[in-house]
Amino acid sequence: MLVHWSLAAVHLLAFALGFWAVLTRGTAFSRLAAGTGEAGRVLLADNIWGISALILLVTGGMRAFGGYEKGTDYYLHQPLFHLKMTLFVLILLVELAPMITLIKWRIALGRGRTLDTGRTRLFARISHLEALLMVLMVIAATGMARGVTFG
């Protein structure tokens, strides 16, 4: 019981941290685009976003498929789980461009080069879209937790 509770708590805390981090990253991108921000703030928020995403992935996988919650069969036959995973894949897809760019930024900074900040406004919008998708995932998760089904 304690493991179940701990996994759920860590999962929810990682969500909160990730939600804050992706919103903060979006704000940092916006400030950088406006000329009032620093790349370091974007990168710090991105690091926290990445760590929280990894924790979410591990704890979510353990809860859904590790025998700690309702069981694999429940999740695989739950439409809201499929919605939640679709939203997760959408986040991964829209995250590709900022992720690749921020890896390039880290390399450029390590080599003492200037950063290409031309797409910072776009990446701010992407970050905020990802936060919205996370909220939709929570809505799906709350329905799953209450056994909501369709049909």
- The predicted pLDDT at position 54 comes to 97
Q: Is the pLDDT of residue 151 over 70?
A: no
> 12-39 pLDDT, tens per residue?
999 999 999 999 999 999 999 999 999 9
Instruction: Please give the mean pLDDT across all residues of the chain.
Output: 93
pTM: 0.91
Q: Residue 103 pLDDT more than 70? A: yes
The predicted pLDDT at position 144 comes to 87
- CB-CB contact of 89 with 83 (8 Å): no
Sign of torsion over alpha carbons 11, 128, 87, 134: positive
The reported pLDDT for the residue numbered 75 is: 82
pLDDT at 150 over 80: no
Interatomic CA distance for residues 22 and 45, integer angstroms = 7
CA–CA gap between residue 128 and residue 15 (Å, rounded): 15
With contact defined as beta carbons under 8 Å apart, do 18 and 52 qualify? yes
| 144 to 6, 42, 54, 56, 127: CA distances (angstroms) | 19, 34, 22, 17, 26
What is the tens place of the pLDDT at every residue in 32-77? 999 999 999 999 999 999 999 999 999 999 988 887 777 788 888 8
Q: Where are the domains of the chain?
A: 2-145
